[in-house]
């Protein structure tokens, strides 16, 4: 029974409770005479709350049932196919969740003494080494909490580098028009002007247009994604790299699509200066309905001094004993355990978050890479690309494929043909939901009309891919024979086409008890 | 490879459908020159061996349990099992951002509930779906304020967490916003109310509550000064205090940020948890990040959807309010569930326990020779002490006795931590039982007395 | 999308695997010359398998998705109301599952040295003490794996006691006709004849009929449930006890319904000789879709010597240090840790399972009792009884309540009135499923026609009870206005009324690849 | 109380509806004389304190990890995380027996799959939904056989696990079935083939495979003898062997039982796991316990339901095939999932690792002075040794070195274990890594050499 639930606040009844706390168990030192032992007395001249916050009041069974039922309203990787392009919805191994939950990891405080945290530092160090091998870069920061956060780090590093060389006047970042929105938003957040370059007819970066843009603007950086958001490998990548560098700019490589090239090509060898990696995509950590992710940023020689501090480092001659003897003469450390934080990095752009990153996500990714091994990762890439091309080959009859060439881990189809029957990409997507599958990404990249961006990932088997093809064909048939059915889809979900216009026109962003809608 | 299902036969059959001979052909778009030749990584491990490797790493960390008195932005609060049980449900954990609302009502509704809970706690009108963490939320809040009042100066209290101050500075470095500092009163440790000239051109006044040294700020005069100068007051909070202290809106905050780690999220070496950002209702179109709104569906049923997306990168692109895309949804869910279990009374009681235990430990420590408070201002459950010996020495001796006594403040004056300095920051929560507190006191007494050998058996029970 | 799934065997594809094993990593000593190093060589003259068993071949993601989707087809306490009478479907606290999973409990081998297992022995000992306090008995065995298993232990103990006193000719066990099926099956499994006694018009044991039965048969034991399966407390229990004992028989008390009387009454004080307790009911351990449960058996003085061995015991003078110094002169132990197994119990009926019981279930129950405390358990009983009587009061208008008196934790309604509109108890139950709630137990106890046995439990809030009342009223209305709707219910479940007759006539008890049904 | 939702106001309102004044009135049916006056149990604890209590208990147990070599019916096998993750899903864990098939297809189908897997492993035709454990399954299997051939004698191999033998005896004591013993060959350790007169009137011949001492039995001659005498052969098995050894049906078993603990179930001090019972198809109506059958629903869709319920207590009451009601469904699910992950190749490989490692350790131990095998018969991954010193002394010295070396056989000759006796039963699984085996050998050598102080540092790597 998939039924919508009232907001938890509407389930509240005064006086219920879901939690029993221990007694304070200590004597309370006297406060002022009139309020001895009271909390207000302890706190002194502080403004207290008049009324408690209206949090819900519920017993534990009610809370558990509420969220269990809410969860059932979600589609998820564990419940079905999720070919959401650019998002790499692959299987998230269960063992990685368990390992991250080990008390030795989960109960560690970020400011414990360095000799007390060697295990986690080693995990971070190992992950960094693995990412460097996979990307062909030199050093990485694990601090960014997501891909976009990594982008910001990358662009700020480029900016700092350029200012250092006296080129602070370079005020422009260029992106292909197929770029993900975060690329543009990142650049402007870092204070840049953004110039979008039109893609070539093949869906790739157009060298001519690149040259022209580089010459017409004070370009600081080019941001690109490779394979790009059409799932196509930028075949001219070496030339792009040469031209950009010659123009005095650096290249930011959006590594959200790294799943396509593990063991097949390395951004470092393409001449990229900085790369972010989405651990919550390629490296199988769960998306959590929107996070947490992690977006480590790896750099080459040019930008290494600018990485956010601190970095994790390993004493090269360390015996691995984690001892606590003093190390004379080191500016960065005061003890000599095997792993330590490199704090003093004078050119560093500084921190972009508190502490060290989404460490739990990092540990999951480490466990994944260890489990897969080099060969396994390469096989994953091969299967991801195989699956995408297989779907492309099988859907080609029924759906337009604007750039119908060998794709990498994803490809973009279009509902252009179906449009002529009165059914658009959104309608197709909604109708897919009726089959118990998730829809592809739609209307992205922007350069493909009625785009359906399909990324099956390597953890899907052939039966599932074939079933998806059947669904897509059926929807095509329906579009011709009964377009209304598709236009009014979905028909089997708990709700159907929430009114987004209403939501934006009259935003209801919180529950309020008076609101009759919530009863 | 247990995560991959294709057999060689599958692969061959699929290649046939594609119409190519070999897997290599699939990678033909990659220029020859770039074609990698394998990876210099070890062979994959089975689950048993992967587990052994990671377990060995976890065992290299030292866990102090209730004998850890570290805070400074990451707190040792109890996480009920129901939180873990529910957040680990695959339907929550393995879903993506709720783009297809029809099959994501679970995620959308719990975000809506998270937004509501934060509005209730702060008294402000609009909360977003979460930020990466507290410090990055603070930086985004400062940007929000500057967007709102078209200014380029940030005034930051010296009572901010040094790391959040650094994050604000890093974010500000891109567009070149200026960040200047507002000092603390040397005696009370409270932020000094800025003068009009200090506020000249300032768009955002940033204050931490309680501040980094544990001192509870008096926000009203700061708010007044800010508002008089046309600036917004942005408060970075330890949200556990909000069960007892006046809600942020009431004391003049325009924007409140913080980290919900204390609610349902393990410390986990500092991540992942979730930042929050709540602002006055009228500032909502300046909010960064995702927002969930309640609406109705095609059949008139109540439904939830991402809303006001025109603020966001995937729609507005270079003119978005932020570049944030993935946030910390699952950690926000943990907080929402924990808050639902606590309820208003539970949250107040939780605060009370922390306050009482912290004040008890504080008083007892002050009885010891040479220990003095750094500041005289009121505190909640965290306080800074000046010790009669180097803090690093104290910490090491205490840890040898099984107690992690607090964060050495010298850690934040650069370097890899704790060299020099005699100040320590101590936090107390419901996880530090009266016995743990007794253990702290016994150990501290021994350390101050210069005893060398740890004696883990003797513990002091509080004279309750 | 709640969709039926093919059997996992049908998803199998040759060559897939969901598990990577480590290498043996040791040299293999030579076998016979012709098969050196082979497994067959190592094993010697042993008949090997010609063909591997046809287990499914799948990758881990496929297995995870399969069982995730299967799970979604279930109703469960965490997803909705479950008023299944006699089953006590209360909330199962999450923390208890976690605690049972602690490596210190989960990874313990049953034959580790007694000084290495003190924690679990203490847990078992503490639970026994708690159960004795709750039941008013003297000693308990934690060995039985479920309620029925406990019954078998109890009846075998009675049999052994009677044989010991030379009354082995007593060959009959009597049970009220309202008894649970396990009572009768247990008695006959233990070699007894079973006599069913008709209940009184009030639904209770009829003293006259009890006397008569006791005099007419060679009665070994009376088995009763109190409160009985109608949810009624046997008001004459002391008289029943006196009569039975005077007749030389003992009383077995089926404690499945203990939830009704915690802190309110104790079987020991009612004169009961042996009681089993369902930890998976009253003590909140999850039912697991049919198990594991645990059915500890507590006895009074008479039967104590007959309890299954071993029992857990505590050295009265133990310092609690768990030391390993030898204890001179004890027949039962050879070391002196605080807790130990009492093995030598000469009159014991012997074991009824391997090892010591469903220890994981025991630990959950211990955690529950500790969490609730004495007051909490009593409050739970009060709320359970309150909830049942509340529902009874609110349903009385629309449904017949054959014994409409103050009930305990459950009560029995009847669809007799609805039957006159052509709708029977099964139809009502099936129609309830359409509301997202579970149905009550039906057609039990046998003495109530069209029985609907309703047990809400204490962990349900008033809103849920009221919602159930609405559903029941609506079904009553439907029975009058549109009985066909009810007769063909459920309408919203993944399947509807599986054909049980077909299933029994042509039993398909396993998947076979040739079977076209499974395609 | 966090598990209860009523407030006093709720309670009063509900009492009003019922029409009584007080809660006490609800308990009026209980005679005054019996009315209890409270419970002598401590006040309830919050989750934090409950956890602390149970964690302290868990910490009183000693866990040996890969250095545990104990078997004898409970084996140290790896449990993949996916098994825990899936079995802990609330929809499986908090459901009841699938009486309402429409809302229990998840449970019904996984039981159907369990039945199928057991049939595949044993080669027999019909498996039930699970029994309490291996030993009780054996007792029920013996009863099944006696029901089938209307006899009252059970002949039990001396190679049965002593505890399962005891369980059979206890069950048999009720109806008074006779249980007699069939000896082992002193040399090989295999069960001696019974003579016709030994089999006179016997309905069930019970044999363990491999037997308690680890010896792999030759079942064919036993089956022949049993069948010639009109008895059924019931085999109690360690199911891990079934990936390599001939299926039970092929070598003549009529009924196979065992415990699926090795598949996906933790040792957990011996419970919970699940027993299984599989029989020849023609014996199906004698099966005890629940059975799931495949059928079609009202719309013709494939569906599952409990079937042949006329065998069961809730229908047949005193004439049921057994009194079993609740079984071990969730543990059976764990086994089904683990088997699905292993597949046929995984199961065979798992067996191979166990066999190879066990034989390696066996050979190496035999090289040590004074250590001898108890029996000469073939073994799988478990073997009995005679030691040159008392087994209790050996075990204690080994445990002081961090290795739990095996089960002392004297434990089973009565008493609280291990007094006297020089025999030990050693089991090796995939969890005992080559390093763990090396550690065993180093420690054993030291113990045999009479060294007193344990030296945990020195470990022996196998010369692989
Ligand atoms: C191509 C591309 N770049 C960047 C991002 C941003 O990553 P994140 O959501 O982790 O911030 C995404 C994620 O959607 C992406 O697909
Ligand atoms: C009254 C009664 N007695 C006995 C039992 C049998 O308990 P179990 O299923 O644990 O064997 C039950 C369970 O259904 C019951 O309700």
For ligand 2, the distance from its centroid to the CA atom of residue C148, given in whole angstroms, is 6
The single-letter DSSP state of residue A107 is T
Distance CA C172, CA C166 (A): 15
Half-sphere exposure of D130 (CA within 13 A, CB side): 36
Contact B51, A99 (CB under 8 A): yes
The answer to whether C68 faces chain B, any CB pair under 8 Å, is: yes
Q: Among the atoms of ligand 1, which is closest to the Cα of residue A229?
A: 1
Residues in Cβ contact with C119 at an 8 Å cutoff, skipping those fewer than 6 apart: C104, C105, D56, D57, D58, D59, D60, D61
How many of the other CB atoms lie within 10 Å of CB of B221? 16
- When scoring A8, A18, A67 by the number of chain B Cβ atoms within 10 A, the one with the most, hence best to mutate, is A67
Q: Tell me how close the Cα of C29 comes to any Cα of chain D, in angstroms.
A: 7
The answer to whether A73 faces chain D, any CB pair under 8 Å, is: no
C89 lines ligand 2 (CB under 6 A): no
Q: For residue D454, what pLDDT is reported?
A: 55
Distance CA C255, CA C275 (A): 6
Q: Is the peptide bond before A59 cis (omega within 30 degrees of 0)?
A: no
Distance CA D430, CA D276 (A): 23
Residues in Cβ contact with B77 at an 8 Å cutoff, skipping those fewer than 6 apart: B240, B262, B263, B350, B429, B430, B431
How many of the other CB atoms lie within 10 Å of CB of C481? 10
Whether C470 is covered by a domain: the verdict is yes
Beta bridge partners of D258: D237, D276
Beta bridge partners of B206: B156, B234
Distance CA A339, CA C253 (A): 64
Distance CA B121, CA D367 (A): 72
> Which backbone phi and psi does D291 adopt, to 5 degrees?
-135, 140
Q: Which ligand is nearest to the CA of A179?
A: 1
Q: Which of D218, D265, D208 is nearest to D238 (CA)?
A: D208
Cβ contacts (< 8 Å) between A78 and chain C: which residues?
A: 64-65, 68
CATH topology of domain B67-78+344-452: 3.90.1150
The single-letter DSSP state of residue B258 is E
> Which backbone phi and psi does B202 adopt, to 5 degrees?
-80, 130
Distance CA B374, CA B378 (A): 12
pLDDT beneath 70, residues of chain D: 414-420, 452-464
Q: Given a cut of 90, is residue C40 above it in pLDDT?
A: no
Residues in Cβ contact with C406 at an 8 Å cutoff, skipping those fewer than 6 apart: C389, D20, D25, D26, D28, D29
Q: Which of B301, A494, A466 is nearest to C1 (CA)?
A: A494
Q: How far is CA B141 from CA B136, B313, B322, C163, in A?
A: 8, 17, 10, 83
Rounded average pLDDT per 10-residue block, chain A, 519 residues: 91 95 86 67 91 96 98 98 97 98 98 97 98 98 98 98 96 96 96 96 96 97 97 96 98 97 97 98 98 98 97 79 36 67 94 97 98 97 98 97 94 97 98 98 94 98 98 98 98 96 95 63
Q: Which of C26, C49, C72 is the last residue of a domain?
A: C72
The answer to whether D53 faces chain B, any CB pair under 8 Å, is: no
- Listed in sequence order, the DSSP H helices in B80-199 are 81-87, 90-93, 105-122, 134-149, 162-173
pTM above 0.90, yes or no: yes
**Beta B126-127 vs A219-225: how paired, if at all?**
unpaired
- How confident is the model over B225-252, as a mean pLDDT? 98
- How confident is the model over C190-214, as a mean pLDDT? 96
Residues in Cβ contact with C337 at an 8 Å cutoff, skipping those fewer than 6 apart: C114, C115, C118, C315, C318, C322, C323, C324
D325 lines ligand 2 (CB under 6 A): yes
Quote the tokens at residue B101: 């609302």
> Which backbone phi and psi does D61 adopt, to 5 degrees?
-95, 150
- When scoring C78, C432, C458, C471 by the number of chain A Cβ atoms within 10 A, the one with the most, hence best to mutate, is C78
Q: For residue C31, what pLDDT is reported?
A: 55
Beta bridge partners of C441: C453
Question: Across the interface, do C95 and B81 touch by the CB < 8 Å criterion?
Answer: yes
Whether A12 is covered by a domain: the verdict is yes
Beta strands in A303-363 (DSSP E): 311-314, 339-342
Question: Across the interface, do B97 and A233 touch by the CB < 8 Å criterion?
Answer: no
Contact C350, C341 (CB under 8 A): no
Residue labelled with tokens 């290299």 = B60
What CA dihedral angle connects C133, C134, C140 and C146, to 10 degrees? Answer: -160
User: In Å, how far from its chain's centre is CA B229?
Assistant: 30
Q: For residue C228, what pLDDT is reported?
A: 96
- How confident is the model over C431-444, as a mean pLDDT? 97
For ligand 1, the distance from its centroid to the CA atom of residue A33, given in whole angstroms, is 59
Cβ contacts (< 8 Å) between C13 and chain B: which residues?
A: 5, 7, 10
Q: Is-same-fold flag (B67-78+344-452; B81-338)?
A: no
Question: Across the interface, do A22 and D84 touch by the CB < 8 Å criterion?
Answer: no
Q: For residue D363, what pLDDT is reported?
A: 96
- How confident is the model over C252-261, as a mean pLDDT? 97
Beta bridge partners of A195: A174
**What is the extent of the structural domain holding C68?**
8-72
Ligand 1 shell residues, CB under 6 Å: A 86-87, 146-148, 180, 182, 225, 229, 254, 256, 278, 293, 295; B 325-326
Number of domains observed in the structure of chain C = 2
pLDDT in tens, B385-435: 999 999 999 999 999 999 999 999 999 975 434 456 999 999 999 999 999
Q: Tell me how close the Cα of D323 comes to any Cα of chain C, in angstroms.
A: 5
Q: Tell me how close the Cα of C242 comes to any Cα of chain B, in angstroms.
A: 48
Whichever domain contains C455, its CATH number is 3.90.1150.10
Residue spans of the domains in chain B: they are 67-78+344-452, 81-338
The answer to whether B350 faces chain D, any CB pair under 8 Å, is: no
CATH topology of domain B81-338: 3.40.640
In this predicted structure, which of B172-186, B388-402, C130-144, D306-320 has the lowest mean pLDDT? D306-320
Quote the tokens at residue A26: 């200590």
Does ipTM come in above 0.85? yes
Q: For residue A459, what pLDDT is reported?
A: 98
pLDDT in tens, B125-136: 999 999 999 999
Q: How far is CA C143 from CA B63, B363, C210, C277, D325, in A?
A: 37, 52, 32, 12, 16
**In three state form, how does the secondary structure of D343-369 look?**
HHHHHHHHHHHHHHHHHHHHHHHHCCC
Residue labelled with tokens 């050979």 = D363
pLDDT in tens, B310-346: 888 888 888 889 999 999 999 999 999 999 999 999 9
What contacts 24+ positions apart, CB below 8 Å, involve B48-51?
B48/C21, B48/C22, B48/D78, B48/D430, B48/D431, B49/C22, B50/A95, B50/A99, B50/A367, B50/A370, B50/A371, B51/A95, B51/A98, B51/A99
Question: Across the interface, do C95 and B80 touch by the CB < 8 Å criterion?
Answer: yes
Question: Across the interface, do C235 and D31 touch by the CB < 8 Å criterion?
Answer: yes
Residue nearest to ligand 1 atom 13, measured at CA:
A87
Distance CA C87, CA D325 (A): 12
Whether A340 is covered by a domain: the verdict is no
Whether C144 is covered by a domain: the verdict is no
Q: How far is CA D202 from CA C192, D145, D152, D180, D197, in A?
A: 22, 10, 7, 9, 10
Residue labelled with tokens 């390599």 = D244
Q: Which of C72, C92, C118 is the last residue of a domain?
A: C72
Cβ contacts (< 8 Å) between A357 and chain B: which residues?
A: 270-271
Question: Across the interface, do B82 and C94 touch by the CB < 8 Å criterion?
Answer: yes
Distance CA A156, CA B175 (A): 10
Distance CA C114, CA C333 (A): 9
Q: For residue B36, what pLDDT is reported?
A: 81
Quote the tokens at residue C249: 């028989």
Residue nearest to ligand 1 atom 8, measured at CA:
A147
Mean pLDDT of chain C, nearest integer: 93
The answer to whether C59 faces chain B, any CB pair under 8 Å, is: yes
Question: Across the interface, do C80 and A65 touch by the CB < 8 Å criterion?
Answer: yes
Contact D254, D232 (CB under 8 A): yes
Q: For residue C318, what pLDDT is reported?
A: 60
Q: Tell me whether residue C247 is exposed, middle or buried, using C-beta atoms within 10 angstroms of its C-beta: 0 to 12, 13 to 18, 19 or more.
A: middle
Angle, helices D329-366 vs D434-448, to 10°: value is 50
Question: Across the interface, do B47 and D430 touch by the CB < 8 Å criterion?
Answer: no
Distance CA B367, CA B385 (A): 12
Q: How far is CA D55 from CA A10, B46, B65, C47, C121, in A?
A: 36, 30, 12, 47, 14
CA angle D445–D451–D453, rounded 5-degree value: 115
> Which backbone phi and psi does C287 adopt, to 5 degrees?
-80, -20
Distance CA A169, CA C143 (A): 80
Distance CA C472, CA C456 (A): 14
Task: Give residue C38's pLDDT band: very low, low, confident or very high (50, 70, 90).
Answer: confident
- End-to-end Cα distance, chain B: 59
User: In Å, how far from its chain's centre is CA D301?
Assistant: 36
Residues in Cβ contact with D21 at an 8 Å cutoff, skipping those fewer than 6 apart: D15
């Amino acid at each position: 029974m998939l039924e919508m639930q009232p907001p938890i606040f509407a389930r509240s009844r005064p006086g219920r409770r879901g939690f029993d706390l221990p007694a304070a168990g200590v004597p309370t030192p006297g406060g002022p005479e009139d309020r001895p032992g009271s909390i207000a007395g302890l706190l002194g001249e502080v403004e207290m709350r008049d009324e408690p916050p209206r949090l819900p009041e519920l017993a534990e069974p009610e809370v558990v049932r509420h969220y269990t039922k809410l969860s059932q309203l979600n589609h998820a990787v564990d419940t079905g196919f999720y070919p959401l392009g650019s998002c790499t919805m692959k299987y998230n191994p269960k063992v990685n969740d368990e390992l991250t939950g080990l008390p030795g990891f989960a109960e560690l405080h970020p400011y414990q003494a360095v000799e007390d945290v060697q295990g986690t530092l080693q995990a971070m160090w190992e992950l960094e080494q693995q990412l460097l091998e996979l990307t062909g870069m030199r050093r990485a920061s694990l601090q960014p909490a997501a891909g976009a956060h990594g982008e910001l780090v990358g662009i700020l590093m480029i900016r700092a580098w350029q200012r250092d060389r006296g080129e602070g006047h370079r005020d422009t970042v260029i992106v292909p028009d197929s770029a993900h929105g975060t690329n543009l938003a990142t650049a402007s957040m870092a204070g840049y002007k953004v110039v979008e370059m039109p893609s070539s007819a093949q869906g790739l970066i157009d060298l001519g247009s690149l040259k022209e843009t580089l010459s017409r603007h004070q370009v600081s950086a080019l941001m690109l994604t490779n394979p790009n958001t059409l799932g196509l490998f930028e075949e001219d990548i070496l030339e792009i790299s040469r031209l950009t560098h010659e123009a005095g700019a650096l290249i930011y490589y959006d590594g959200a699509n790294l799943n396509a090239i593990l063991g097949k090509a390395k951004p470092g060898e393409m001449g990229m200066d900085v790369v972010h990696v989405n651990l919550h995509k390629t490296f199988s950590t769960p998306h959590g309905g929107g996070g947490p992710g992690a977006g480590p940023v790896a750099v080459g020689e040019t930008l290494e001094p600018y990485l956010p501090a601190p970095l994790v480092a390993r004493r090269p001659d360390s015996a691995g004993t984690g001892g606590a003897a003093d190390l004379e003469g080191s500016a960065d450390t005061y003890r000599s355990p095997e792993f330590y934080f490199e704090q003093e990095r004078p050119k560093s752009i500084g921190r972009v978050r508190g502490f060290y990153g989404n460490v739990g996500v990092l540990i999951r990714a480490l466990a994944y890479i260890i489990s897969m091994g080099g060969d396994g990762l390469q096989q994953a890439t091969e299967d991801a690309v195989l699956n995408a091309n297989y779907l492309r080959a099988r859907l080609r009859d029924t759906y337009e494929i604007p750039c119908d060439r060998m794709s990498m881990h994803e490809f973009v189809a279009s509902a252009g043909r179906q449009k002529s029957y009165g059914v658009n990409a959104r309608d197709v997507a909604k109708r897919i939901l009726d089959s118990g599958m998730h829809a592809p990404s739609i209307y992205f990249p922007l350069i493909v009309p009625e785009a359906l961006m399909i990324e099956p990932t390597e953890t899907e088997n052939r039966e599932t891919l074939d079933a998806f093809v059947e669904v897509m064909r059926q929807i095509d048939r329906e579009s011709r024979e009964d377009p209304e059915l598709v236009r009014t889809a979905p028909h089997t979900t708990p709700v159907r086409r929430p009114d987004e216009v209403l939501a934006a026109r009259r935003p209801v962003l919180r529950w309020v008890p008076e609101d009759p809608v919530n009863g | 490879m247990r995560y991959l299902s294709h057999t060689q036969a599958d692969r061959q059959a699929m290649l046939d459908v594609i119409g190519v001979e070999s897997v290599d052909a699939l990678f033909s778009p990659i220029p020859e020159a770039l074609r990698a030749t394998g990876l210099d990584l070890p062979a994959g491990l089975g689950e048993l061996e992967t587990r052994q490797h990671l377990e060995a790493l976890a065992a290299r960390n030292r866990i102090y349990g209730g004998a850890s008195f570290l805070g400074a932005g990451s707190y040792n609060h109890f996480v009920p099992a129901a939180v873990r049980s529910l957040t680990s449900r695959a339907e929550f954990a393995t879903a993506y951002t709720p783009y297809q609302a029809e099959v994501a009502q679970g995620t959308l509704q719990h975000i809506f509930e998270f937004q509501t809970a934060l509005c209730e706690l702060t008294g402000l009108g609009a909360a977003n779906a979460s930020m990466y963490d507290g410090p990055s939320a603070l930086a985004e809040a400062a940007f929000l304020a500057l967007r709102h009042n078209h200014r380029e100066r940030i005034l930051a209290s010296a009572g901010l967490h040094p790391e959040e101050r650094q994050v604000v500075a890093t974010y500000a470095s891109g567009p070149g916003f200026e960040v200047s500092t507002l000092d603390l009163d040397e005696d009370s440790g409270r932020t000094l109310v800025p003068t009009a000239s200090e506020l000249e051109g300032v768009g955002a006044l940033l204050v931490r509550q309680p501040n980094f040294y544990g001192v509870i700020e008096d926000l009203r005069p700061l708010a007044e000064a800010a508002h008089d100068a046309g600036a917004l007051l942005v408060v970075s909070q330890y949200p556990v205090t909000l069960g007892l202290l006046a809600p942020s809106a009431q004391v003049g905050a325009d924007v409140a940020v913080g980290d919900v780690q204390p609610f349902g999220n393990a410390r986990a070496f500092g991540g992942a948890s979730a930042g929050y950002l709540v602002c006055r209702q009228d500032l909502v179109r300046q909010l960064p990040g995702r927002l969930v709104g309640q609406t109705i569906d095609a059949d008139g049923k109540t439904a939830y959807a991402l809303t006001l997306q025109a603020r966001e990168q995937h729609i507005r692109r270079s003119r978005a309010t932020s570049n944030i895309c993935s946030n910390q949804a699952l950690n926000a869910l943990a907080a929402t569930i924990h808050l639902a279990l606590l309820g208003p009374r539970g949250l107040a009681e939780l605060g009370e326990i922390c306050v009482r235990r912290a004040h008890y430990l504080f008083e007892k420590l002050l009885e010891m020779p040479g220990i003095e408070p750094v500041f005289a201002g009121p505190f909640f459950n965290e306080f800074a002490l000046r010790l009669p010996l180097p803090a690093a020495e104290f910490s090491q001796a205490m840890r040898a006795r099984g107690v992690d006594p607090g964060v050495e403040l010298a850690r934040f004056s650069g370097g890899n931590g704790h060299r020099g300095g005699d100040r320590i920051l101590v936090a107390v929560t419901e996880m530090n039982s009266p016995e743990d507190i007794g253990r702290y006191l016994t150990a501290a007494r021994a350390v101050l007395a210069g005893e060398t050998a740890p004696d883990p058996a003797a513990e002091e029970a509080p004279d309750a």
